[in-house]
Amino acid sequence: RASLHEANQVWRNMLWFTGLIIVLTLVIIYWLGSRVQRVVSEPLEQLTRTAQAISAGKDYSLRVKQTSEDEIGALVAAFNDMLGAIETRSGELIQANRMLASNEAQLKAVNEELEQRVGDRTAELQALFDSASVGIVLMKDRVIVHCNRRIDEMLGYAIGSQIGQPTRAWYPDESAWEKVGRE
């Protein structure tokens, strides 16, 4: 007669031993996984936080601390280089905008000065034009654009009434006006 008690005991011991190995393996895997996760995800989380801070505050002087020389370290280095380039370009654009604003202000001042000079010169020329002892007419396409007081007096018109009128009134008939026009 044989007893299965010893076989069952071996079987139970194997199950306990297997369960212990499984539990120890899971503990080791969890411990290794948390260490690896910290190594991988902490720099990525820091990179994400820095990117969000830059996006919110537009402060391109922020940098991510590089903690390793692996692929994640290379990513952090590239990100920092990119931020440096953006910061440099941003500074250049700000400086260019300042120069543009300064040049625009200078241009406006020069323009105002030129407008004043043109106004003064126009007033001087108008005074000469109006005080001339001979009749002066400015025409475009045989229409009187401007004339001085003397031509109005010479031809018997009210001052300024010839402006905008064709020169037809100065000729004895239509054929004389057309002949001069052709010539």
Reported as a single tens digit per residue, the pLDDT across 59-76 is 888 888 888 888 888 888
Pick 136 or 42 by higher pLDDT: 136
Could you give the 3-state DSSP secondary structure of residue 134? coil
Mean per-residue pLDDT of the chain: 89
How confident is the model at residue 130, as a pLDDT? Answer: 82
83 and 60 in contact (C-beta within 8 Å)? yes
* Burial degree of 76 (CB within 10 A; 0-12, 13-18, 19+): buried
How confident is the model at residue 145, as a pLDDT? Answer: 93
If pLDDT is split at 50, 70 and 90, which confidence band does 1 have? Answer: low
pLDDT in tens, 125-150: 888 888 888 999 999 999 999 999 89
pLDDT in tens, 26-38: 999 999 988 888 7
Q: Identify the CA nearest to 47 among candidates 19, 23, 76, 74.
A: 76
